Amino acid sequence: MLMSKIELKTENCKGCGNCIRNCRFEALAFNNEVNAKGYRIVTVDRDKCVGCGMCYTVCPDYVFSIED
């Protein structure tokens, strides 16, 4: 199984949903957590993530980083 090294800085997340809408592998979803800024934040299902970097590209808030 391909496990990507995706890291999330959820303290930056503002819950815009760009990443969730653009992830072809349905690896991202909102959970019920709220960060210190008061925004609903995104979580990743690491079994589904292939590390394609789409979330990084469309995120306006510097939440994602991916290491090969």
Partner 1 sequence: MAITKQIPDTIFAANSFCPGCGHGIVIRLIAEVLDEMDLSDRTIGVLAVGCSCLVNRTLAVDLMQSAHGRATAAAAGIKRTRPGNLVFTYQGDGDAISIGIAETLYSAQRDEKITQIIVNNGVFGMTGGQMSPTTLVGQRTATSEKGRNSEINGDPVNIMKLLSQFNTAYLARGSVHDAANILKTKQYIRTAFELQMRGEGFTCVEVISPCPTNWHMTPDQAVERIANEVLEVYPLGEFVKGEHQK
The full 3-state SS of the chain, as one line of letters, equals CCCCEEEECHHHCCCCCHHHHHCCCCCEEEEEEECCCCCEEEEECCCCCCCCCHHHHHCCCCCEEEEC
Q: Is 38 in the site for partner 1 (CB under 8 A)?
A: no
Per CB under 8 A, the list member of 27, 28, 42, 54 interacting with partner 1 is 54
Q: Is 33 in the site for partner 1 (CB under 8 A)?
A: no
Select 32 or 63, whichever has its Cβ closest to partner 1: 63
| Footprint on this chain of partner 1 (rule: CB under 8 A) | 2, 4-5, 9, 11-12, 14-18, 21-22, 39, 50-54, 56-62, 64-68
